[in-house]
Amino acid sequence: MSRPRSTADTLTDFSQSSFSFEGVERKIFEKGDGPPVLVMHEIPGITPEVADFSRRVVDAGYRVTMPVLFGTPGKPFSMGYSLREVAKACIAREFSVLGLRRSSPITSWLRALCRHLHAQHRGRGVGAIGMCLTGNFALALMVEPCLMAPVMSQPSLPFRASPWHSNDLHVSDAELEVIKSRARAGCPVLGMRIRTDPMVPGRRFDRLHRELGDAFIDVTLDLGPSGGISPVPHSVVTTEYRDDLVGVRPHPTHRAMQAVLDLFDRQLRHPTGQSA
């Protein structure tokens, strides 16, 4: 069974470098061989559980790139650490945590990184997963034709300050039109959440169904009273992930992880859809 780890992850099995765009340089961690996958970590940072998720993607045959967006790489999760990083994100100009009908400014940097990975891998399609505060970023990155496998895991922006925020997708109207066009052309979107998670309102997934139709793959998990590790289950493929079997059936988070790998396999190894 997977459990939150209290010791730091040294990340020594990942290579370290940096990527710069428009004067902004960020450290990136990379590992593996195969089609490129961009992993955008959740609050509070690249925790040991996020690193382990990336290792599972690597083991499935992909080259993972993890940019450092906030927090201290490898530092274990704690409530105090998480709250401090949320507070920083709320005042940072790179993140629009309450922004309606617009994406966070940091997505411009992430799009440039996608283009870089696309060129670096000789034109191969790129996969991307965002988690929690970065969850909606995977949707915003679809304006880049090279992004072929977007995954939104517990997409939490904008924070649900009103019914309008709960219904918002954290992309502009113009971006949404491109996203819908790409979805119609064969680029599906995978969305994952835990049904009882207050940070990811059901109205947000209802909106994704309306906008994207059959191109939206909805993985909403029902964990039940004893199915989660945290008191309020949230992080589908990191903190809540369990690699054991419960009875004769895989744990729901195990099935969610498989849905991620199935999308990457279909879109990055055997692509049938065309870029916009």
| 3 state SS of 38 | strand
DSSP state of 145: T
Integer Cα distance of 66 and 258 in angstroms: 20
pLDDT in tens, 200-230: 999 999 999 999 999 999 999 998 766 777 8
User: To the nearest 10°, the Cα dihedral for 111, 114, 118, 120?
Assistant: 120
Over residues 44-98, the pLDDT tens digits come to 999 999 999 999 999 999 999 999 999 999 999 999 999 999 999 999 999 999 9
CA quadruple 71, 1, 62, 187: dihedral, nearest 10? -90
Residue 22 DSSP symbol: T
Domains of the chain from N-terminus onward: 17-268 (3.40.50.1820)
Q: Which two tokens stand for residue 209?
A: 């169904």
Radius of gyration of the chain from its Cα atoms, rounded to whole angstroms: 17
Contact yes or no for 175/181 (Cβ under 8 A):
no
What pLDDT band is residue 173 in, cutting at 50, 70 and 90?
very high
Residues 6+ apart with CB under 8 A from 220: 192, 193, 194, 195, 202, 205
Measured in Å, how far apart are the chain's first and last C-alpha atoms? 41
Tell me the C-alpha distance between 85 and 97, whole Å: 13
> With contact defined as beta carbons under 8 Å apart, do 132 and 43 qualify?
yes
**102-155 per-position pLDDT tens digit:** 999 999 999 999 999 999 999 999 999 999 999 999 999 999 999 999 999 999
Which residue in the block uniquely carries the two structure tokens 């994406």?
A: 103
Bridge partners (DSSP) listed for residue 274: none
Both tokens assigned to 19: 């990527």
